[in-house]
Amino acid sequence: MPSFDVVSEIDMQEIRNAVDQASREIGNRYDFKNTGSSLELNEMSITLSTSTEDRLVALRQVLEEKLVRRQISLKSISYEEIQEASQATVRQIVTLQAGISSEKAKELNKFIKALNVKGVQSQTQGEQLRVISKKRDDLQTVMSELKSGNFDLPLQFENFRD
């Protein structure tokens, strides 16, 4: 039976490279001189810290630019609230989102069922979704509809089997 898996993954090496490039750029740019601006990559988050909220917006823009250049979807990050930090600085945590949660898997299942493509089945398997059909064309239809759908997470398609 033809099938494929729907996953939501991020490449941590590319994230690391984007953060390193953004750190180098803020170290060299004139508008970030003496602002104490920094980017710090943790396991599944990035901490942005700088002197003012205006600099924080610019710092976020530099990070997003580097992520897009490394082909990481901006849907894979979410911003938490801006926090006041010590010595009159501000900080914001950027959370990295990987995997499909059970709520999102249910939403994707409902979306696939609402397409009314005959013979297409979908089931949740951990943090991925397997879509099965007798016809390869039906799977390609589902794949294109999922690409055009507006979900709050980046979707990739793996293990396309005939």
Residue 159: per-residue pLDDT: 86
Best CATH choice for the domain 12-96 from the list 2.60.40.10, 3.30.70.990, 3.30.70.1230, 3.40.250.10: 3.30.70.990
| Segments making up each domain of the chain, as ranges | 3-8+100-161, 12-96
Q: What is the mean pLDDT of residues 84-95?
A: 87
User: Residue with structure tokens 């989102």?
Assistant: 97
Residue 68 has pLDDT above 90, yes or no: yes
92-119 tens-digit pLDDT: 999 998 888 888 899 999 999 998 888 8
d(CA 95, CA 78): 5
Residue 161: per-residue pLDDT: 83
Residue 67 has pLDDT above 90, yes or no: yes
Residue 120: count of CB within 10 angstroms of its CB: 18
Could you tell me which residues are beta bridge partners of residue 124?
129
Residue 1 has pLDDT above 90, yes or no: no
d(CA 48, CA 31): 16
Q: Are 67 and 84 in contact (CB under 8 A)?
A: no
55-66 tens-digit pLDDT: 899 999 999 999
Residue 14 has pLDDT above 90, yes or no: yes
Residue 152 has pLDDT above 90, yes or no: no
Q: 12-96: same fold as 3-8+100-161?
A: yes
CATH number at 3-8+100-161: 3.30.70.860
d(CA 77, CA 67): 10
Q: Which pair of tokens denotes residue 6?
A: 């729907």
Residue 31: per-residue pLDDT: 86
Task: Give me the percent of the chain exceeding a pLDDT of 90.
Answer: 43
Residue 99: per-residue pLDDT: 87
